[in-house]
Amino acid sequence: MAVVGSGAGGSAVAGELAAAGRDVLVIEAGPKWFDPLGTHVRNVYHSEADLSRVGDIIYGEMLSYPSGSSEPVGRLADLKVAHGTGGMFALWMGNCPYPDSGELPTWMGKDEWAPYFARALELMHIDRNGGGSGKMFEALLARTRKAIGARPAGREVMPMPFAARRIENRLKITASDDLFFRGAGSLPNLRIMTDCVVRGVLTDGGKATGLHAALRTNQNERIEIAADTIVIAGGTVGSPKILAASKLDTGPALGRYIHEHVCIGSRVTLKQDIRELIRDDEPVYSIWVPFSHGRPWQNQLCRFTLSSDGGRLAPGIREVDTSDIFTFVAMDVTPENRFIFDHERVDPFGLPHTDAAFGFSRDDRERIGAAMAEHFLIASEVGDVQAGWTPSIYPAGGSTHFMGSCRMGEKDDGESVVDRYGKLWRYENIFVADNSVLGTSNAGNPTFTTVAQALRTADRILGRSGVA
């Protein structure tokens, strides 16, 4: 079985197939970053004192335009990805908001998701109260609740569910290595080939027979890999490129329905009474104001010390005295927002050059305005919005949560590329398992949902009907 891409979706499927005894080869376009494979960057540079350096490494070295191109994808100026073992999953921050039913496809029942969310919760080591603790955290939680007011049951302001565990008294963020190896150490039946770019799927009739690929360092030599099951997990940009290059019969939805969360971000200096509760060794924290019906956005208050803009702090204010506030706003999912593949030009990976058509609807803009008002309410309740507080809307693509392009659907009606199991409608052994299948408007950081869906895909491949 061949899995293309070693990020969140790819490692979840590969680990599950390998744990069931299947012979699995993961093909990853990027280099081997850390040992063991798929290790999270923060788990390598784990000293808290070193965290600002981690920010520079992530944003300066590990994120790039798709396919390592020197140009953005069309006007998606900030759409960046990670090409290396673990993909973006080696850089993520571990926030796992539990999706509201309004953020999942209406044609799929809650019961279809429940066992997979439960299994993802376990495999990703998600602590539902892991967002923080201590006096300062409790004060911040109380003030955020005051700013927001009453909320529906289960969608109250709460600590963010967080994918990490404590090892030797330090926080180890969940990454691909957890999903690949399941604590069993190296599995002989799971192998990874790095620096190898998959260029297309080989088919015979309605069936895949393998993949063709090339080393990044030697693009002229064609490598063929035989496999009886293919899982494409190259991410929202990578997966549709491979399918487009393969000229498969995917229908008109391929590359369409791309969407993200419009991200409003600001950093606020906390009010004096909250600052007085801060310990010198105050740990990272994350507070969550969930998405709910009629309020299609979510807020997060966190301090990850990933930015190195200490120079912008007011005199006498330490980084630990501030909080980042992010508001992620759901946007409409429409076929007009799409990637456009140019088969006459190739990108640095030898795949079709990719452009994008992407814009906001009137409803999107109204939603962003309402969410911005709530962002201000929170900021002014917990911090000082008088002096130099500047919220900003991230450039398109900048949420790091880009989704769609290989949309999952209920039926083969031209509005989706894969079925509920991630299987291509018109091929019996080609699957997609990554953020690209998420084609329903939502505001939640997507990785928890992507991993849950990837586990469903693995079950389908293994002929299992559910997870005990």
Ligand X SMILES: Cc1cc2nc3c(=O)[nH]c(=O)nc-3n(C[C@H](O)[C@H](O)[C@H](O)COP(=O)(O)OP(=O)(O)OC[C@H]3O[C@@H](n4cnc5c(N)ncnc54)[C@H](O)[C@@H]3O)c2cc1C
CB of 259 to ligand X, least distance (A): 13
CB of 89 to ligand X, least distance (A): 4
C-beta neighbour count of 111 within 10 angstroms: 8
Complex with ligand X: residue 137 or 349, whichever CB lies closer: 349
CA 251 to chain centre: 25
| The two three-digit tokens of residue 318, written as one number | 């330490």
259 interacts with ligand X by CB under 6 A:
no
Return the range that interacts with ligand X (CB under 6 A); candidates 88-96, 185-193, 217-225, 379-387: 88-96
30 interacts with ligand X by CB under 6 A:
yes
Return the range that interacts with ligand X (CB under 6 A); candidates 91-99, 181-189, 339-347, 359-367: 91-99
List 322, 441, 445, 453, residue binding ligand X (CB under 6 A): 445
> Site mask, ligand X, residues 362-401, x = CB under 6 A?
--------------------------------------xx
Gap between the Cα atoms of 405 and 428, Å rounded: 20
List 38, 72, 87, 439, residue binding ligand X (CB under 6 A): 87
| Distant-in-sequence, close-in-space partners of 279: CB < 8 Å, separation ≥ 6 | 134, 136
Task: Tell me the number of residues near ligand X by CB under 6 A.
Answer: 41
82 interacts with ligand X by CB under 6 A:
yes
List 1, 2, 3, 6, residue binding ligand X (CB under 6 A): 6
Gap between the Cα atoms of 443 and 446, Å rounded: 8
Complex with ligand X: residue 174 or 269, whichever CB lies closer: 174
List 194, 429, 450, 453, residue binding ligand X (CB under 6 A): 450
CB of 358 to ligand X, least distance (A): 18
CB contact at 8 A, 328 and 444: yes
Residues 147-186 that bind ligand X (CB under 6 A): none
| Distant-in-sequence, close-in-space partners of 197: CB < 8 Å, separation ≥ 6 | 29, 213, 214, 215, 216, 219, 349, 350, 351
> Site mask, ligand X, residues 194-233, x = CB under 6 A?
---xx----------------------------------x
Gap between the Cα atoms of 341 and 354, Å rounded: 5
Return the range that interacts with ligand X (CB under 6 A); candidates 1-9, 13-21, 183-191, 326-334: 1-9
Peptide bond between residue 395 and the one before it cis (omega within 30 degrees of 0): no
CB contact at 8 A, 19 and 246: no
43 interacts with ligand X by CB under 6 A:
no
Gap between the Cα atoms of 68 and 64, Å rounded: 6
CB contact at 8 A, 257 and 338: yes
234 interacts with ligand X by CB under 6 A:
yes
Q: Per DSSP, which regions of 205-337 are E strands?
A: 207-215, 218-226, 230-232, 261-270, 285-289, 297-303, 322-330
Q: Which of 234, 180, 198, 237 is nearest to 40 (CA)?
A: 180
Complex with ligand X: residue 238 or 265, whichever CB lies closer: 238
Interface residues with ligand X (CB under 6 A) are: 4-10, 27-30, 58, 63, 81-83, 87-89, 91-95, 197-198, 233-235, 238, 242, 349, 400-401, 434-435, 445-448, 450
